[in-house]
């Protein structure tokens, strides 16, 4: 077996490969860009080499640089992961030319799948079912018209050079054909430099079902069940599962055999995936072959109990496949959800930012998390915005769905937008639970996938208040001070002078709360109603009883920003401004610090005329800002601290001569 390999990738897949290699006793060399110096894959590897600036084109796509590093480090093989150089024939060839094993298929197999029409011809010859249509090289418009008639409508024009859904056009009838053909050719010419078209019968409600195949260097080829990846958005997979719900054993075997024939037709070696369109009537048709380990391979691992990266390493070393077809068994059901930094409410615009708070579900036989990031990491514009893959397994699909719903609720991220709530709504939806899967799933069920918030606004505000006040108490053990606002035993009369105001901003709206507090019991006035709240905070976990309803939320308070997590949903608010009733703490004409903290800003000068309620000093304590305001109209007579100073609780910050005192 290899004793040292180089991983020509980053993120979760680099980490995942290193994990298996280490388990097998293989040393790992990572490569990294300037943006990834502190990345998890670099930390996990035995050694790592800087290969260039952040941009992929300057680093992870630099084939020569990576081969140079492989040689320098003494790596015997390169694992390309997925994306980047994984399906680059020149890179595969360059590895071999330099005596480094490419952990993937021979470059000829990658090349054979590069053209759609050539691939279809090979598959046709190998007896792999194709969607009825035309894939010839003669592109004479008259001939294409005749082929269109033969094919029937609706039909699909596909660019020979296209892929991933680009360059496709549905044609409903012959009347539309000429215009559609001309337009499709123009698009394909512009996008791929090749105007040639395929004609296919258009399947209106297909599913995406793909077969995992594996071939060794000795001519053996097998399949490891299938995956259903129908839930996609703009040709991006969102959820994947194994096995494909509702597939009969006959179809599974027929599809598996066809996939192995497809692989063997191109002398395939290693892990590959043959994608099929699967129609409601059980028929299936070759779509394309991916000549790499795929993002969604973990669901296959979960149901087969095999480690596909281990298989890849063994096959690349020259070992025979670990199992023969009859030994491949599947058990239970696995589902994968791709967690992305993106904003579902803004048409899934990729999001960037810092993973300021990151809490993941506990891993077990039922839950697996494949990720390349840790708390504090940045999701930048430079790479794919996938944060993690969450994979669950259980005996039945039903149970696996429940596991996924729960695991998504335990996946908590603050600091940037994610699709977690969208995934939760999708998995938890009736159509998904019923396995009503087609490639139109998201478009068809859109209204279900953007549900209303899980908590109503006022309740969320009350819980937010409880979280903020409890965190403040735990952060400042100063209750021994009788002057501390926290030590004060409020009377239980709402709207009394002792009620603390708390303003929480949600979106553009500021919500004014009034809070009475006695130990961990609160009365909160929000939206015109009084709520009774018991709250206990343990780190990020708030256990609450809200008007008799026992519930719990997690939260993260950073600067003035609070994010609460509840049943897969998040509630965000900003502490707008607050006062601890300073009028009661400080004597007339003086203003004291309500707590230990730092002066962030001094907003007045000696001699300034100020009016009651005017903000004079901004303090920061426990990562929250507090405005110190003038208790009455007056003139600033003295300022005791400057911006940046640390002050102790009770320290006089500023002195004012009030009108009455004059
Ligand atoms: C199709 C099809 C319906 N009929 N071909 C999209 C990606 C490309 N590789 C093949 N695709 C399709 N080909 C025929 N004859 C529908 C799709 C399709 C699709 C396929 C798989 C997963 C998601 C999809 C979303 C839209 C369209």
pLDDT per residue as tens digits for the range 96-114: 999 999 999 999 999 999 8
Better-predicted residue by pLDDT, 625 or 230: 230
Gyration radius of the chain's alpha carbons: 31
What span, in angstroms and rounded, lies between the C-alpha atoms of 166 and 155? 16
65, pLDDT greater than 60: yes
> 207, 292, 368, 421: which one is catalytic?
292
Q: Write out the two tokens for 428.
A: 């938890």
Interval 226-233 mean pLDDT: 98
Q: What is the 437 CA–ligand 1 centroid distance (Å)?
A: 14
Taking Cα atoms as reference points, which of 251, 337, 257 lies closest to residue 298? 337
pLDDT of res. 167: 79
Average pLDDT over residues 448-467: 96
Q: Which residue's alpha carbon is at the smallest distance from atom 14 of ligand 1? A: 202
The average confidence (pLDDT) of the chain is: 92
- Looking at residue 483, its pLDDT comes to 53
What residues line ligand 1, using a CB cutoff of 6 Å? 131, 156, 165, 200-203, 206, 208, 232, 235, 277, 287-288, 439
Specify the residue for token string 């590069």.
114
Distance from the alpha carbon of residue 203 to the mean position of ligand 1, in angstroms: 8
Which residue has the least CA distance to atom 5 on ligand 1? 202
Q: Is the pLDDT of residue 498 over 70?
A: no
Q: Kindly tell me if the per-residue pLDDT of 380 is higher than 70.
A: yes
| Lowest-confidence pick of 115-119, 388-392, 430-434, 474-478 | 474-478
Minimal-distance CA residue to ligand 1 atom 23: 439
**190-199, 367-376, 393-402, 546-555: which range is least confident on average?**
190-199
Q: Of all atoms in ligand 1, which is nearest to the CA of residue 155?
A: 15
Mean pLDDT (whole number) for 52-78: 98
What is the CA(286)–ligand 1 centre distance, in A? Answer: 11
List residues bridging with 652 in a β-sheet. Answer: 592
Taking CA atoms only, the protein residue closest to ligand 1 atom 7 is 165
Q: What percent of the chain shows pLDDT beyond 70?
A: 93
The pLDDT value given to residue 122: 95
Beta pairing, strands 270-278 & 284-290? antiparallel
pLDDT (tens digit, 9 = 90+) per residue, 139-164? 999 999 999 999 999 999 999 888 77
Residue 590: the pLDDT is: 57
| pLDDT given at position 280 | 87
Average pLDDT over residues 216-220: 98
- 529-538 and 4-7 as β-strands: parallel, antiparallel, unpaired? unpaired
Nearest CA to ligand 1 atom 10: 165
* pLDDT score, position 290: 96
Cα diameter, the chain = 102
C-alpha–C-alpha distance, residues 188 and 184, integer Å: 6
In DSSP terms, which residues pair with 531 in a beta bridge?
524
Pocket test for ligand 1, best of 153, 206, 239 (most atoms within 8 A of CB): 206
- Scanning the structure block, which residue is given the tokens 């071939």? 215
Query: Where are the alpha helices (H) located in 410-480, listed in sequence order?
Result: 420-427, 430-433, 441-444, 446-449, 457-475
Residue nearest to atom 25 of ligand 1 (CA): 439
Tokens of 237: 């997979």
Q: Identify whether 243 is preceded by a cis peptide bond (ω within 30 of 0).
A: yes
So what's the pLDDT on residue 578? Answer: 46
How close is the Cα of 34 to the center of ligand 1, in Å? Answer: 38
Q: Which residues pair with 524 in a beta bridge?
A: 515, 531
Residue nearest to atom 21 of ligand 1 (CA): 208
CA of 149 to the centre of ligand 1 (A): 21
Residues 6+ apart with CB under 8 A from 177: 145, 148, 171
Q: How far is the CA of 386 from the centre of ligand 1 (A)?
A: 23
Q: What mean pLDDT is predicted for residues 313-334?
A: 98
Q: Which residues contact 532 (CB under 8 A, 6 or more apart)?
A: 521, 522, 523, 545, 546, 547, 548
The per-residue pLDDT for 496 is 46
Q: What are phi and psi of 211, to 5 degrees?
A: -105, 130
H helix and E strand count, the chain: 18, 41
Determine the pLDDT at residue 166. Answer: 78
pLDDT of residue 20: 98
* Average pLDDT of span 267-294: 96
Block residue for tokens 């192995």: 260
Ligand 1: centre distance to CA 1 (Å): 40
Average pLDDT over residues 526-541: 94
- The count of other CB atoms within 10 Å of the CB of residue 319 is 14
Could you tell me how far CA 473 lies from the centroid of its own chain? 34
| Rounded mean pLDDT, 427-431 | 98
- Banded model confidence at residue 659, pLDDT cuts 50, 70, 90: low
- Ligand 1 atom nearest to 230, measured from its CA: 22
Mutate to test the pocket of ligand 1, among 235, 279, 294 (most ligand atoms within 8 A of CB): 235
Indicate the pLDDT class of residue 478, thresholds 50, 70 and 90: low
76 CA from centroid of ligand 1 (Å): 39
Q: Could you tell me the pLDDT band of residue 597, with boundaries at 50, 70 and 90?
A: confident
DSSP per residue, 66-109: HHHHHHHHT-SEEE--SSTTTT-HHHHHHHHHTT-EESS--HHH
pLDDT value at 441 more than 70: yes
Whether the predicted pLDDT of 171 surpasses 60: yes
Percentage of the chain beyond pLDDT 90 is 81
At residue 353, the pLDDT reads 95
- Residue 174 makes CB contacts below 8 A (sequence gap 6+) with 145, 148, 149, 153
Cα 430 from chain centroid? 23
Per-position b or e across 9-45, b if 16+ CB within 10 A of its CB: bbbbbbbbbbebbeebebbbbbbbbebbeebbbbebb
Question: Which ligand 1 atom lies nearest to the CA of residue 165?
Answer: 7
Burial of 477 (0-12, 13-18, 19+ CB in 10 A): exposed
Q: What is each CA distance from 660 to 311, 347, 582, 588, 632, in whole angstroms?
A: 86, 59, 19, 10, 10
> 331 Cβ partners below 8 Å, 6+ apart?
303, 305, 395
- Paired residues of 157 in beta bridges: 169, 199
Residue identified by tokens 């615009």 is 349
Active site residue 550: no
Does residue 661 have a pLDDT over 60? no
Q: Closest ligand 1 atom, CA of 133?
A: 15
pLDDT of residue 481: 55
Q: What average pLDDT does this structure show over 33-52?
A: 98
- Residue whose CA is at the smallest distance from ligand 1 atom 24: 439
Asked if residue 160 has a cis previous peptide bond (ω within 30° of 0), the answer is: no
């Amino acid at each position: 077996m290899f004793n040292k390999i180089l991983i020509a990738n980053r993120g979760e897949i680099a980490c995942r490969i290193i994990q298996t290699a280490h388990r097998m006793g293989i040393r790992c060399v990572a490569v990294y860009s300037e943006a990834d110096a502190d990345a998890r894959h670099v930390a996990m590897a035995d050694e790592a080499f800087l290969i260039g600036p952040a941009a992929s084109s300057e680093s992870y796509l630099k084939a020569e640089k990576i081969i140079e590093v492989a040689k320098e480090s003494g790596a015997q093989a390169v694992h390309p992961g997925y994306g980047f150089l994984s399906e680059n024939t020149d890179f595969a060839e360059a590895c071999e030319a330099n005596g480094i094993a490419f952990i993937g298929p021979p470059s000829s197999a990658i090349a054979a799948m590069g053209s759609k029409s050539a691939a279809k011809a090979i598959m046709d010859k190998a007896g792999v079912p194709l969607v009825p249509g035309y894939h010839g090289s003669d592109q004479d418009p008259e001939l294409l018209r005749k082929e269109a008639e033969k094919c029937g409508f609706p039909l699909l024009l596909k660019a020979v050079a296209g892929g991933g859904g680009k360059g496709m056009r549905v044609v409903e009838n012959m009347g539309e054909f000429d215009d559609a053909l001309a337009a499709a050719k123009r698009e394909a010419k512009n996008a791929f430099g090749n105007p040639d078209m395929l004609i296919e019968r258009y399947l209106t409600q297909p599913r995406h079902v793909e077969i995992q195949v594996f071939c060794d260097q000795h001519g053996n080829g097998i399949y490891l069940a299938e995956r259903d990846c129908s839930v996609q958005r703009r040709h991006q997979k969102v959820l994947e599962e194994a096995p494909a719900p509702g597939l009969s054993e006959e179809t599974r075997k027929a599809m598996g055999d066809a996939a192995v024939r497809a692989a063997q037709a191109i002398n395939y070696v290693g892990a590959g995936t043959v994608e099929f369109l699967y129609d409601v009537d059980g028929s299936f048709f070759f779509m394309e072959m991916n000549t790499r380990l795929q993002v969604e391979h973990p669901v296959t691992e979960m149901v087969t109990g095999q480690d596909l990266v281990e298989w890849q390493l063994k096959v690349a070393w020259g070992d025979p496949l670990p199992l023969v077809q009859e030994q491949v068994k599947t058990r239970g059901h696995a589902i994968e959800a791709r967690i992305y930094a993106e904003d579902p409410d803004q048409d899934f615009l990729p999001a960037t930012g810092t993973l300021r708070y990151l809490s993941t579900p506990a891993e077990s036989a039922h839950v697996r998390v494949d990720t390349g990031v840790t708390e504090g990491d940045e999701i930048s514009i430079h790479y794919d915005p996938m944060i993690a893959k969450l994979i669950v397994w259980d005996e039945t699909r039903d149970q696996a769905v429940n596991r996924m719903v729960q695991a998504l609720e335990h996946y908590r991220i603050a600091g940037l937008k994610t699709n977690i709530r969208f995934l939760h709504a999708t998995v938890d939806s009736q159509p998904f639970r019923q396995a009503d899967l087609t490639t139109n799933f998201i478009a068809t069920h859109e209204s279900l996938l953007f549900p209303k918030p899980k908590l109503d606004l006022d309740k969320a505000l009350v819980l937010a208040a409880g979280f903020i006040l409890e965190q403040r108490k735990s952060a400042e053990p100063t209750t021994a001070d009788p002057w501390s606002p926290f030590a004060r035993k409020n009377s239980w009369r709402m709207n009394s002078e002792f009620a603390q105001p708390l303003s929480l901003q949600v979106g553009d709206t500021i919500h004014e709360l009034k809070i009475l507090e006695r130990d961990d019991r609160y009365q909160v006035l929000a939206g015109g109603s009084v709520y009774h709240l018991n709250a206990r905070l343990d780190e990020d976990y708030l256990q609450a009883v809200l008007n008799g309803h026992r519930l719990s939320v997690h939260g993260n308070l950073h600067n003035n920003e609070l994010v609460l997590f509840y049943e897969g949903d998040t509630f965000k608010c900003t502490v707008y401004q607050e006062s601890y009733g300073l009028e009661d703490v400080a004597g007339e004409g003086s203003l004291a610090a309500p707590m230990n903290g730092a002066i962030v800003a001094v907003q007045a000068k000696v001699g300034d005329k100020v009016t009651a309620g005017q903000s004079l000093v901004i303090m920061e304590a426990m990562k929250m800002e507090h405005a110190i305001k003038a208790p009455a109209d007056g003139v600033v007579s003295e300022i005791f601290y400057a911006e940046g100073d640390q002050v102790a609780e009770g320290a006089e910050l500023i002195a004012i001569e009030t009108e009455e005192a004059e």
